[in-house]
Amino acid sequence: MKKVRAGSVLAVGLGLGLGLAYTFPPSTRRPSTIVHLFEWRWSDVAQECERYLAPGGFDGVQISPPTENIVVTSPPRPWWERYQPVSYDLCSRSGTEQELRDMICRCNNVGVKIYADVVINHMCSAGAAAGSRSTCGSYFNAGAGEFPSVPYSACHFNDDKCFTRSGNIESYQDIHQVRNCRLVGLRDLAHDQEHVRGRVAGYMNKLLDMGVAGFRVDASKHMWPEDLKAIYSRLHNLNTTWFPEGSRPFIYQEVIDLGGEPIKGSEYFGLGLVTEFKYGAKLGSVIRKLGGQKLSDLKSWGEDCGLMPSEKALAFIDNHDNQRGHGAGGDAIITFWEPRMYQMAVAFMLAHPYGRARVMSSYRWDRRLVKGKDENDWMGPPSLPDGSTKPVSIRSDGSCGDGWVCEHRWPPIRNMVVFRGVTAGEPLCNWWDNGGSQIAFGRGGRGFIVINNDDCLLDVSLQTGLPGGTYCDIISGQREGGGCSGKRVVVDDDGKAHFTIHPSDLLPIMAIHTDAKLPK
């Protein structure tokens, strides 16, 4: 079986023509950043919400699909088995339904929202043998289209609407194939049927009633927008234990639109936010200086350089698909394997006001590159001999071990999440560049960032727009009580400050914000 793409879409106050609006759930904290804790166990997510995410100002967590899925034992437990559901029962290698409920409750109690990755386009591969294992032990016969735990039978799939010889998508230039045929062999659900709509909405409503704040909707590109609209119209309001009465779920949908295909991300704007896959691809190519590009080109970053409108976009540098070389972006995508460039890209994303930001939290795998392709991109999370997922190990310095990468815990990324929260709602201002790959910009009167991606020294005085005083550079350190563990930046009363960044610095970035100002 092959790998399956997975994606996201966010809904922000966009009417569906049904008197409904899909919005960010209210929060007492300033809106900030979503973190994707890819393949984490529910018990580990709960602990992370309490000990790290809430104190660190993270808005919410995207969790891996919670539904029962096929268990693939050869090769052992690939990550993509999570995207091959066999029922809507809530047991997976992340944990049981009770553990899921406990995690949702504990995260909501500390103000961190849960966004569930939902796989509703399809069931598992038609090639899965009858009697194959599943995470809850449910029986299914994918070849016959039998999933009695839902229940679905052969009549609930789109086989009669797909006219390719293989039954799979053979051309992405044909919208009917993309939305009615099987994505790499996965049984494609007929969402125009009332039974299917009801079962999908019922699954999503169970999660909402448990306290989930919204959804990443996988493979949205492969579903007709009118079918998604009908399903979303049936969704419950958020649980009033944690959210104000009448709050609607926050929805972000995966639509890979790099241009050149008839299906456009804009078709889904009325339903929620859309994953902007061009974001990581374009920014990665600039930071890599491909084709002579330079950071100063980012002055027009946003819709003017071909991205979707900011208010429609989920922005991200990489996701669990394209960090493995598939799912859009190609060689331009920067990942944790290149930590210096990666932190530069994430810092820019979290400082810039474009879109709603999501950061990745990954695990390592044994890479095996053959002619540029990673032969081991299927490998699942760090696991015990029985195939169960290992706990996330936290070292004394706050970093993760035992195969877990935890980019969200890297100090510069953690501190830039705070920067994004502090500067939320503030306009981009005081742009400066040297015509090459040295840039700086502010966010109103609350934050300022400087990046040097040139091979020469950056040594310049700039207008920051910040109040006068001494600030901690949150890239080299952070404010600790009345002191600073990193560089200090003195802002004069007129808002100007001097910055020096050597190209050989561990990270060629400096950033300050008003919450990092030292007391007099």
Q: Which residues contact 271 (CB under 8 A, 6 or more apart)?
A: 9, 11, 14, 16, 22, 225, 228, 229, 232, 251, 253
Q: Answer yes or no: are the C-beta atoms of 54 and 33 closer than 8 Å.
A: no
Residue 264 identity: K
218 catalytic? Reply is yes
CA distance 321 to 329: 10
Dist CA 145 CA 153 (whole Å)? 5
C-beta of residue 120 within 8 angstroms of C-beta of residue 189: yes
Beta 273-275 vs 313-315: how paired, if at all? parallel
HSE, side-chain direction, 13 A CA sphere, residue 154: 5
Q: What is the distance between the alpha carbons of residues 294 and 297, in angstroms, rounded to a whole number?
A: 6
d(CA 316, CA 248): 24
- Bridge-partner residues for 483, per DSSP? 480
- Active-site residue identified among 188, 254, 318, 377: 254
CB 508 within 8 Å of CB 502: yes
What is the C-alpha separation between 498 and 510, in angstroms, rounded?
11
CA atoms of 446 and 293, how far apart (whole Å): 29
Instruction: List 117's β-bridge partners, or say none.
Output: 216
Give the span between the Cα atoms of 144 and 231, in whole angstroms: 25
Q: Which of 218, 318, 377, 473 is catalytic?
A: 218
C-beta neighbour count of 427 within 10 angstroms = 9
CA–CA dist 482, 220 (Å, integer): 49
Read off the tokens for 384: 């015990």
Instruction: Extract the tokens encoding 120.
Output: 């509703």
Question: Which residues make Cβ contacts (< 8 Å) with residue 137, sequence separation at least 6?
Answer: none
Phi, psi of 393 (to 5 degrees): -90, 125
**Contact in structure between 279 and 265 (CB atoms under 8 Å):** no
Active site residue ranges: 218, 254
